[in-house]
């Protein structure tokens, strides 16, 4: 097996923002589901519609709006952090990444080309 060294010079901020946003949105959905379930359990256990009971009642709204909110925040943070990373990569002449070639059938010449 041969090693292939490539230098990372730039990352597309919008694509990175979409990836950050999607991950954050997924986490927002998981958190909303967890807290909705937690609120339902405590609301049922106490028999009251207190703070936890209210959370369970608005769980559907939380399951809709939390992932959207998390996506938007993740998208913005993803774009800003990628712009900062690109600035640092430019000032430090990139980041060298070492890859191993796994099989001979892979066409390494296609790496870095636009599809």
Q: Spell out the SS3 assignment of the chain.
A: CCEEEEEECCCCHHHHHHHHHHHHHHHHHHHHHHHHHHHHHHHHHHCCCCHHHHHHHCHHHHHHHHHHHHHHHHHHHHHHHHHHHHHHHHHCCCEEEEEECCCCCCCHHHCCCCC
The pLDDT value recorded for residue 6 is 85
Determine, yes or no, domain membership for 58. yes
Determine, yes or no, domain membership for 109. no
Q: Looking at the 3D structure of the chain, how many domains does it have?
A: 1
Determine, yes or no, domain membership for 108. no
How many Å apart are CA 32 and CA 40, to the nearest integer?
Answer: 12
Q: What is the mean pLDDT of the chain?
A: 81
Determine, yes or no, domain membership for 34. yes
Determine, yes or no, domain membership for 12. yes
The DSSP bridge partners found for residue 97 are: 6
Token pair 């712009």: residue: 83
Determine, yes or no, domain membership for 70. yes
Determine, yes or no, domain membership for 18. yes
**pLDDT tens column, 14-70:** 999 999 999 999 999 998 888 877 777 766 656 655 544 454 456 677 888 889 999
pTM, to two decimals: 0.70
For residue 71, give its domain range: 8-95
How many Å apart are CA 32 and CA 68, to the nearest integer?
Answer: 11
How many Å apart are CA 32 and CA 27, to the nearest integer?
Answer: 8
Of the candidates 80, 57, 82, 68, the residue with the CA atom closest to the CA atom of residue 22 = 68
Determine, yes or no, domain membership for 106. no
**pLDDT tens column, 29-40:** 998 888 877 777
């Amino acid at each position: 097996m041969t090693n292939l060294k490539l230098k990372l010079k730039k990352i597309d901020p919008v694509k990175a923002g979409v990836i950050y946003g999607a991950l954050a949105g997924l986490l927002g959905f998981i958190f909303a589901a967890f807290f909705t379930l937690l609120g339902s359990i405590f609301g049922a256990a106490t028999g009251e519609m207190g703070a936890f009971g209210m959370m369970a009642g608005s769980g559907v709204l939380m399951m809709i709006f939390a992932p959207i909110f998390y996506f938007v925040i993740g998208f913005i943070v993803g774009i800003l952090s990628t712009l900062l990373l690109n600035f640092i990569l430019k000032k430090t002449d990139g980041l060298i990444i070492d890859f191993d070639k796994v099989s001979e059938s892979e066409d390494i010449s296609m790496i870095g080309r636009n599809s």
